[in-house]
A = this chain, B = another copy of it.
Amino acid sequence: MKLAWLDKLREQNPVVLNISNFVTVQDVANGLNALGASPIMSEEIAETKEMVAISDAIALNLGSFTQTQIAHIKKMGQEANFAHNPIVLDPVAVGAISYRKQTALQLLQDFSVAVIRGNAGEIAALANFSWQAKGIDAGFGDSNVVEMAKVVAKKFHCIILMSGKTDYITDGNRVTAVHNGTKLFAIHVGSGDMLTSIVGAFAAVSKGDYFEAAQTAALVFAAIGELAAKDKCIGPGSFTVNLLDQLFLAESQQISAIADYEEL
């Protein structure tokens, strides 16, 4: 865990270029900005090369893509590979919708990614594991989720960040479990999407160590969520407000003080 990278991120203000889910884009932009990164969004393929050139990392969210966007995402991924910019992919709902799974698997052939961030159902789908998923939420299945994540990491030669009550980060061999977090993440629609882009921000300052970037991002976000949830009688409205405040205000020492993780 490199909590010092949070300070580095706030000094360097890396530019994270996002293909966004229009449902959560405002939250994601505000979350990146609050933490100390510079969000930039693009919808137009004609500006892809320039956008990649001014960016330090790419976050590709597949939460609401259209056919038009697939070509855009492909070009952005390929340009990012060419520029050696790390890519974080969020395969939203690939566990529930086979059209999305096919699209995500095709994109994973078109370019290589540094990190995939998803819930257990989404990660399972990428390796054709049997799994019950309902809508955007992960269901419950029988497989050993950690072993499954390791298989997916090896298959795509990338880091897997599997979100849930406990977050698991693996490169196919090493596994870290982050136990911090709050149930309120589940009732704030943008939580996962925000984490995906924040992984991008940490990847940008990681000098290529994406396992470290993913596990540090997971810990920072989970711990900040825990700090934001401290009030009693809190609901999703005030949690979102507190989350944005804490992304801006929380210091690495505060995170360190409550950090709860283990290497499996």
Contact = CB atoms under 8 A, between A and B. Distances in A.
Contacts of A63: 41
B23 A24 contact: no
Contacts of A100: 47
A240 to B, nearest CB: 7
A189 B26 CA distance: 8
A26 B188 CA distance: 10
A65 B43 contact: yes
Interface stretch (A151-159, A200-208, A209-217, A241-249): A241-249
B26 A43 contact: no
B235 A47 contact: no
Contacts of A66: 43-44
A190 interface: yes
Interface string A27-47: 101100110001111111011
A245 B41 CA distance: 27
Taking residues whose C-beta sits less than 8 angstroms from the other chain, chain A's interface range is: 35 or more
Contacts of A245: 234-238
Contacts of A241: 237-238, 240-241
Given A189-B26, A245-B235, A51 B97 contact: yes
30 contacts: A22-B22, A22-B41, A24-B26, A26-B26, A26-B189, A30-B240, A33-B188, A33-B189, A34-B235, A34-B237, A38-B134, A39-B189, A40-B136, A42-B64, A44-B64, A44-B67, A44-B99, A47-B99, A47-B100, A51-B97, A54-B97, A54-B134, A235-B248, A236-B248, A237-B240, A237-B243, A238-B241, A238-B245, A240-B241, A240-B244
Which 7 pairs between the two chains have the least Cβ-Cβ distance? A235-B245, A237-B244, A237-B241, A235-B248, A38-B135, A47-B99, A237-B245
